[in-house]
Copies of this chain bind each other. A is one copy, B any other.
Amino acid sequence: MPTLKLRIFWRRRLPRAYSTFLFAFFLLFATAWTATAQDTSDPLPSWNNGQAKQAIIDFVARVTKDGGPDFVPPADRIVTIDNDGTLWTEQPMYTEFTFTFDRVKQLAPQHPEWQTQQPFAALLHNDMKTLAASGDRGMFQLIVATHGGVTTDQFSQIVTDWLSHAEHPRFKRPYTECVYQPMIEAMAFLRANGFKTYIVSGGEQEFMRPWAERVYGIPPEQVVGTTLKTKFDTKDGSPVLDRLPQIDSIDDGPGKPENIGKFIGKRPIAAFGNSDGDQQMLEWTASGPGPRLMVLVHHTDAEREYAYDRQSSVGRLDKALDEANAKHWVVIDMKNDWKTIFPATK
């Protein structure tokens, strides 16, 4: 009804030339307003204004300024990003460990020997002390036993199925919604500026690939992680890739720059991490010529997420924090720099 009245007003009161003029003026104004709105729109709305946010925005402005002294061609705009604790929650335990434990329990009926064989027995009998005592070696035994012995296609399906029903114990939402909204925005902002975003994570590569594109916008070929050996085989007349119960390479610490060399073949100009396992990746990134952006996520928010650093057994941030402070790398103070932590629930 108001529309009708406006049309009548429009037709009755205004001469045609005048109305055309008004309409043109409106168009001009609308265009100018839209342009201004775009220019001042915030690419990182979940970040509070502060040094961390400004450092990212300034860095992107410098390397994308055509003809500027710090211009970097798009082909060299490589950014490598850790996953656990940098893109999604890693407390109270790495999500992949929870997956591994669930899968040991699920597979146990097919493996009666696990009832007495460590570290499987400890896990199956909830003997967490013995399990913890088995250390990294024990954990790798569990990982290869639960991640291997299937084809790549089967494993992708297993991960997808598990994530569809598993839930974070504290946040009561799927793990793929325990991702950091500010980092999702930072990656989108970098990609919108010609960057190629890579995950470089200690997590097993095929545990991340099935969902990294949907959740982070990162396709499988840009996901680098710890790998199992595979074997080309033929089953029922069809070629498959069998995942062997054997580690191929561990993508952590010095393994990160080594795998960046192998998979990408270029030195990143920006890198994001959150723990000592990312230190060498950030050092490698820092060591190239021209502008560089090294960022650490510091977990300082016990209320909305977790607060931990030097003493944590999960995602320890100690030496890398010292180096960041000494070399003026960007340290994100999660509590103060991030307006929101997780995306809105779906």
A residues at B contact (CB < 8 Å): 75, 152, 196, 205-206, 209, 213, 219-221, 223, 227, 230-232, 238-239, 241, 248, 254-255, 257-258, 261-266, 280, 283-284, 287
Q: Name the distance in Å between A13's Cβ and chain B's nearest Cβ.
A: 42
Q: Within 8 Å CB of A219, what residues of B? A: 75
Of all chain B residues, the one with the shortest Cβ separation from A220 is: B265
Q: How far is the CA of A262 from the CA of B196 in the complex (A)?
A: 19
Q: Which of A75, A209, A241, A265 has the most CB of B within 10 A?
A: A265
B206, B227, B263, B280: the one contacting A232 at CB < 8 Å is B280
Please state if B287 and A205 are interface contacts (CB–CB under 8 Å): no
Of all chain B residues, the one with the shortest Cβ separation from A238 is: B287
19 more contacts with CB within 8 A, not counting A206-B265, A221-B263, A231-B258, are A75-B213, A75-B219, A152-B261, A205-B265, A209-B265, A220-B266, A221-B264, A223-B265, A227-B262, A230-B261, A230-B262, A232-B258, A239-B280, A239-B283, A239-B287, A241-B261, A241-B284, A248-B262, A263-B263
> Given that A239-B283, A263-B263 are contacting pairs, would A230 and B248 also be in contact in the complex, using a CB cutoff of 8 Å?
no
Of all chain B residues, the one with the shortest Cβ separation from A212 is: B265
Q: Within 8 Å CB of A266, what residues of B? A: 220-221
Q: Within 8 Å CB of A280, what residues of B? A: 232, 239
Pairs across A and B, CB under 8 Å, 7 listed: A196-B221, A206-B265, A221-B265, A223-B265, A230-B258, A230-B262, A239-B257
Please state if B231 and A254 are interface contacts (CB–CB under 8 Å): yes
Q: Within 8 Å CB of A209, what residues of B? A: 265
Of all chain B residues, the one with the shortest Cβ separation from A255 is: B232
Q: How far is the CA of A280 from the CA of B240 in the complex (A)?
A: 11
Q: How far is the CA of A19 from the CA of B263 in the complex (A)?
A: 62
Q: Name the distance in Å between A218's Cβ and chain B's nearest Cβ.
A: 11
Q: Within 8 Å CB of A230, what residues of B? A: 258, 261-262
Q: Name the distance in Å between A294's Cβ and chain B's nearest Cβ.
A: 12
Q: How far is the CA of A25 from the CA of B246 in the complex (A)?
A: 72
Q: Within 8 Å CB of A283, what residues of B? A: 239
Q: How far is the CA of A209 from the CA of B284 in the complex (A)?
A: 19
Q: How far is the CA of A298 from the CA of B239 in the complex (A)?
A: 24
Please state if B241 and A257 are interface contacts (CB–CB under 8 Å): yes
Please state if A284 and B239 are interface contacts (CB–CB under 8 Å): yes
Q: Name the distance in Å between A100's Cβ and chain B's nearest Cβ.
A: 20
